[in-house]
Amino acid sequence: MLLGLDENKIKGPTEDTDSNSGSVSPTGSMETDPATTPKMTLTTSAPNMTNAAMLERNFAMITLGQGFRTPPRASRRKELNIHRCMSLSGVDPEDFLKVTLSDFEKLKVLGVGSFGKVFLVKKIGVETVYAMKVIKKSTLTPRMKTRVKMERNVMALHRHPFIVKLHYAFQQNDRLFFVMDYCSGGDLYYHLHPSRNSRKSVAGMAKFVAAQLTLALGHLHEQGIIYRDLKPENVLFDNKGYIKLADFGLTKGGVFEPLRGARSICGSLHYMAPEVLFLQEKGEGAEYGTCADWWALGVLVYEMFWGLPPWYTDDQDELVRLVKTARLQIPSQLPPPTKAFIREMLSKDPSKRLGFHGSAEVKQHQYFSRVEFDRLLKREYAPSFVPQLEESPIAANNFDEAFTRMPLETRSSRDRNQSHHAHGHERDRQHTDFDDFDYAIDLEGPLDQLEEVEDEEECNDELAPRS
């Protein structure tokens, strides 16, 4: 429920013209008949109604487009959102507008990608540390810009114990900033390295991680979101040994079916399902659905046991051929329930794959026979694997030293910052492509409507081989 309204009655924008692939979004526009819908009148004064109540009513009516054919102007919507947050939380909207880069102290580099960096940061005045993802706008294509917005919205809208939470989002002229949960345990890829991985604990860790991912993916699928980027690098450990799913740049909304709803060839090649790789051969109209995420989970469980994905090779063409046609070989040392789980997850026919009937089917598998998912969701289990942590919360000892030893700023970034401050206040920036990007978790809600990602027939620039 959002703002006390029935989300199932709200229809969001779709990305495909096929009527079967429409989406249901908690922030779309109401389906109304202009001929029968009465004209909406905003409340400016009313007896026995507080200012906060009027703001709440007007916000709900405008955001959901009741009585309008088109949504309100972005600037007006943002103004109403800010005032709504102020009325609900007691926070002065001017305080919200002051959340900028200068409110954070950079401590270490945690990772580097093609679009920017991830830093360990501390909010000035408090002891809490966060992970800050910095994205360079100049590297983003129009499709990537839309996906950045989708990533921001997924983290802002979805509260789940095993999904990374967005705390703040803001921007400057040339960069975007996500301030998120800091998971001090590092990522699964780091811990799968032979020098750090203990064969004695791998079975328990694999099941514990797989069970949490089943809950996280199940939550996203129930909301009509396909993840499409499950891999060890995107599975993070907190300081207790529980996991959080991260990086939602390839997610897509409006996908409620196991075999339909998505058309992009995107993701990391070693974790892509056969039906995704067959899209080009099947031609126009070919689709896949949420079953592709369950395939990736099967690959991940296999890798946790054996250190590499099945059919591993550095030759991309050969890898595609093997995933499409080669039989799965599972070593005999594994217990029968574990082998059955991996084999059923890695069925090349998605209609026969474990997960075709949803996460409930996955949770009922014999592999999870001793897992109480209600307890797991409440984090009542003692994790079988707990990352080793230094005494200091900012040690970042579970991250690659190739990153953590990097300087916080390069010469070019220092020059850019000096130029930026020389030209005025940090809030004087362009928002042409990212209106309503700013967000603060303190204010009890996201500051814009969920935007769907348009699905191109092909996204070959996002086919990422395993590094």
Q: Which residues have a catalytic role annotated?
A: 229
Q: What 3-state class would DSSP assign to 98?
A: coil
The residue type found at 415 is: D
DSSP string, 99-128: -SGGGEEEEEEEEE-SSEEEEEEEETTS--
Instruction: For the chain, count helices (H), then strands (E).
Output: 15, 12
Can you read off the two tokens belonging to residue 98?
A: 């002051």
Cβ-contact 3, 62 below 8 angstroms: no
Residues in CB range of 6: below 8 A, 6 or more apart:
none
Rounded (5°) CA angle 98-165-128: 60
Among the listed residues 180, 173, 91, the one whose alpha carbon sits nearest the alpha carbon of residue 423: 173
The residue type found at 408 is: L
Distance from the Cα of residue 102 to its chain's centroid:
26
Can you read off the two tokens belonging to residue 42?
A: 């905003």
Distances (CA, A) of 449 to 41, 78, 153, 408: 21, 10, 8, 34
Write the Ramachandran bin of 436: left for phi over 0, alpha for psi from -120 to 50, otherwise beta: left
Among the listed residues 235, 200, 234, the one whose alpha carbon sits nearest the alpha carbon of residue 385: 200
- Rg (C-alpha) for the chain, rounded Å, is 23
How far apart CA 100 and CA 102 sit, in angstroms, is 5
Residues in the chain: 467
How many beta carbons lie within 10 A of that of residue 382, not counting itself?
8
Cβ-contact 11, 27 below 8 angstroms: no
Cβ-contact 341, 211 below 8 angstroms: no
Distances (CA, A) of 302 to 56, 174, 252, 364: 49, 41, 26, 19
Give the strand pairing for 243-245 and 235-237: antiparallel
